[in-house]
Amino acid sequence: MTMVLSAEAVCIGHPDKLCDLIADQILDEILYADRNARVAVEVMASGRRIIVTGEISTNARVDCVIAYAQH
């Protein structure tokens, strides 16, 4: 079996780092509240705009915007 490993490296302050932080925080908050949740979140940055898209299936009530702002 062949295994392929890949990595992405970007500088501090790069939009990809911010997008990853937002997506990770959303995922963490939802899975903390509901371990059986299904989460597919994509975060994109364009100019002065942040776009969050995806699908979330959970029984929990989580305010991800407040959760991210507190961290």
User: Per-residue pLDDT averaged across 5-14, rounded?
Assistant: 73
Question: Would the pTM of this model clear 0.85, i.e. be above it?
Answer: no
Other C-beta atoms closer than 10 Å to the C-beta of 22 total 19
CA-CA distance, 67 to 6, in Å (whole number)? 30
What share of the chain in percent tops pLDDT 90? Answer: 24
Both tokens of 29, joined, read: 């908050």
How do residues 24-54 score in pLDDT, each as one tens digit? Answer: 888 888 999 999 999 999 999 888 888 989 9
Cα torsion for 9, 14, 20, 22, to the nearest 10°?
A: 160
Residue 4 has pLDDT above 80, yes or no: no
Which residues have CB under 8 Å from 62's CB, separation 6+? Answer: 29, 30, 33
Residue 69 has pLDDT above 60, yes or no: no
Taking a C-beta distance cutoff of 8 angstroms, is the pair 54, 39 a contact?
yes
pLDDT at 38: 94
